[in-house]
C-alpha cells in the first residue's frame, strides 16, 4: 500500500488537529495536493517521516506500519472500526486492544456440540425396558448467547436427537431445551428460566428445571433454587409438583465441601411408570480433595427422609477417583476415573449415569471405569464401562457406553 493512499484512508478516520505547524516533510512542498492533510496528520502525531526528513508518499508500506497509523489514530479517538478489524492481528502485536470491536463481536455468540453415542447392555432387564440390547444416536446442540449488558446475558439451547437402532431407527426430535437469563443483582448471582440443573453435583439430580436460582457469597457460598421439574418422563415422572433446593459450600483446609437439600413434590421413583410419592426430601453431603499430583478423590453421601421403598435403606453413597483430566481444546490430554455406587431409590431423584439403575428393584449398586481422551482439538472420545446390580439382588447388568464429541 502506498502512503499516498494511506492519506485518504487516515483522513477518513476523522483525525484533526486544532492547530498545526507547517508541514515538516521535505518532499511535500506547500503546493502539493496532500500538503494540508499531511500537516494535520503530522501535527496530530498519526504519521511520522523517515530519518532523512522525507514523508515518502510513493513508497510501499507494510501491514505493520499501517497498523501503527491505525493505532495512533485510535489513540486520538478516531472512529476506525473497519480498519481496526482488518489489522487486528498486527494491532494485537502492538498491544492495542480493540475494545469496541471486541465488545460488539461478543454481543452474540453461537457455539455447538455434536455427540455420537453407542450403548450396549447385557441383561434381560435392559431388553425389557428398552426393547433392545444396544442403541445409538446422534445429538446436536446449538447454544446462542446474547450479552444484554456488562452484568446480564441470555442463553438459549436448541437440541436435535436422531436415533439409529432397529426399534426406533429414524426417530428424531428437535426442541428448544434451554432458555434462561443470567446475571447479578447487587452481590447475588441470579439464573432464571429453563435450564439443565446438576445442582453442583449430579448423583441426586440432573434434570431440566423451570424456575430461578440465587447464589451469594465467596469463601462461603449459599445457594437456593425454586421451580418445577420439567419434562414428565423418566425417573422424575411428574412436572406438576414444585421443587426446592438449597446449598452451602466452602473450602475446609484442602477439602471442598458442600451440603445440599432437595424437596420435590410428586417425585417418581419407578422408571417408565406413573408411580410417584407425594413429597420426597433428600439431604446430601459432597467432599472432594486432591490426594496427590493429578489425583482427585471425591465422596458423596445422600439420604432420604422416608422409606418409599421399604425393602432398601434410606441412604447411599458414590465414591470417585479421578486421574488427570481431558481438555477438549488440547489434543492428547486424557483423564481416567473409577467410581463405586450404592444408590437406593429412596435417596435420589434423577442421577446422571449411564448405568442401569434398577429403579423398580430398589435402586442400584456397582462400579464404573471410564476414560476421556482428546483425539484432536475440539474432538473428544469418552468411553465408560458399568457393572451394576439391583439392590434387591434380583438382576444385574453390564453396560458399555461410548461417546464422540465435536465442539465448535
- At 17-58, the pLDDT tens digits run 444 455 666 767 776 766 676 677 677 666 676 666 776 666
Query: Does 165 score more than 70 pLDDT?
Result: yes
Residues listed for the chain: 408
Backbone angles phi, psi at 41, to 5 degrees: -65, -35
CATH placement of domain 106-221+285-407: 2.40.160
Task: Determine the 3-state secondary structure of 148 from DSSP.
Answer: coil
Distance separating alpha carbons of residues 199 and 264, to the nearest angstrom: 14
Residues 6+ apart with CB under 8 A from 371: 334, 335, 336, 337, 382, 383
- Could you tell me the pLDDT band of residue 268, with boundaries at 50, 70 and 90? low
Which run of H or of E encompasses 37? helix 35-43
Backbone angles phi, psi at 89, to 5 degrees: -65, -45
pLDDT at 311: 87
Q: What are the sequence ranges of the domains in the chain?
A: 3-103, 106-221+285-407
- Per DSSP bridges, beta strands 379-390 and 363-376 are antiparallel
pLDDT at 106: 58
Backbone angles phi, psi at 39, to 5 degrees: -60, -45
Query: Between 57 and 184, whose confidence is greater?
Result: 184
Query: Does 212 score more than 80 pLDDT?
Result: yes
Amino acid at each position: 500500500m502506498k502512503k499516498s493512499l494511506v492519506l485518504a484512508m487516515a483522513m477518513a478516520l476523522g483525525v484533526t488537529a486544532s492547530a498545526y505547524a507547517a508541514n515538516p516533510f521535505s518532499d511535500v512542498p506547500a503546493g502539493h495536493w496532500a500538503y494540508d492533510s499531511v500537516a494535520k496528520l503530522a501535527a496530530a502525531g498519526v504519521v511520522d517521516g523517515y530519518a532523512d526528513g522525507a514523508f515518502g508518499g510513493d513508497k510501499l508500506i507494510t501491514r505493520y506500519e499501517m497498523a501503527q497509523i491505525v493505532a495512533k489514530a485510535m489513540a486520538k479517538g478516531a472512529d476506525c472500526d473497519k480498519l481496526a478489524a482488518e489489522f487486528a492481528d498486527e494491532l494485537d502485536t502492538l498491544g492495542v486492544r480493540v475494545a469496541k470491536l471486541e465488545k460488539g463481536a461478543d454481543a452474540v455468540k453461537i457455539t455447538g456440540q455434536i455427540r455420537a453415542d453407542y450403548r450396549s447392555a447385557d441383561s434381560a432387564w435392559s431388553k425389557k425396558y428398552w426393547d433392545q440390547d444396544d442403541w445409538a444416536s446422534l445429538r446436536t446442540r446449538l447454544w446462542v448467547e446474547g450479552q444484554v449488558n456488562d452484568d446480564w446475558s441470555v442463553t438459549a439451547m436448541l437440541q436435535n436427537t436422531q436415533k439409529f437402532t432397529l426399534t426406533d431407527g429414524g426417530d428424531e426430535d428437535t426442541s428448544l431445551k434451554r432458555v434462561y437469563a443470567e446475571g447479578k443483582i447487587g452481590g447475588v448471582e441470579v439464573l432464571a428460566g429453563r435450564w439443565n440443573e446438576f445442582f453442583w453435583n449430579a448423583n441426586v439430580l440432573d434434570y431440566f428445571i423451570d424456575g430461578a436460582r440465587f447464589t451469594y457469597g465467596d469463601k462461603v457460598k449459599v445457594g437456593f433454587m425454586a421451580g418445577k421439574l420439567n419434562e414428565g418422563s423418566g425417573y422424575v415422572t411428574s412436572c406438576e409438583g414444585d421443587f426446592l433446593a438449597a446449598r452451602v459450600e466452602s473450602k475446609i483446609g484442602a477439602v471442598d465441601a458442600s451440603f445440599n437439600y432437595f424437596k420435590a413434590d410428586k417425585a417418581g421413583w419407578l422408571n417408565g411408570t406413573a408411580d410417584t410419592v407425594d413429597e420426597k426430601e433428600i439431604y446430601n453431603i459432597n467432599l472432594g480433595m486432591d490426594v496427590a499430583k493429578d489425583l482427585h478423590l471425591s465422596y458423596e453421601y445422600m439420604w432420604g427422609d422416608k422409606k418409599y421403598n421399604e425393602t432398601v435403606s434410606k441412604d447411599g453413597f458414590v465414591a470417585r477417583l479421578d486421574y488427570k483430566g481431558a481438555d477438549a481444546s488440547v489434543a492428547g490430554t486424557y483423564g481416567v476415573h473409577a467410581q463405586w455406587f450404592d444408590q437406593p431409590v429412596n435417596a435420589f431423584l434423577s442421577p446422571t449415569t449411564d448405568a442401569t439403575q434398577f429403579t423398580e428393584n430398589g435402586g442400584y449398586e456397582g462400579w464404573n471405569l471410564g476414560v476421556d481422551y482428546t483425539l484432536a482439538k475440539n474432538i473428544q472420545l469418552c468411553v465408560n464401562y458399568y457393572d451394576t446390580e439391583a439392590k434387591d439382588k434380583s438382576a444385574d447388568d453390564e453396560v458399555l457406553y461410548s461417546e464422540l464429541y465435536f465442539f465448535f
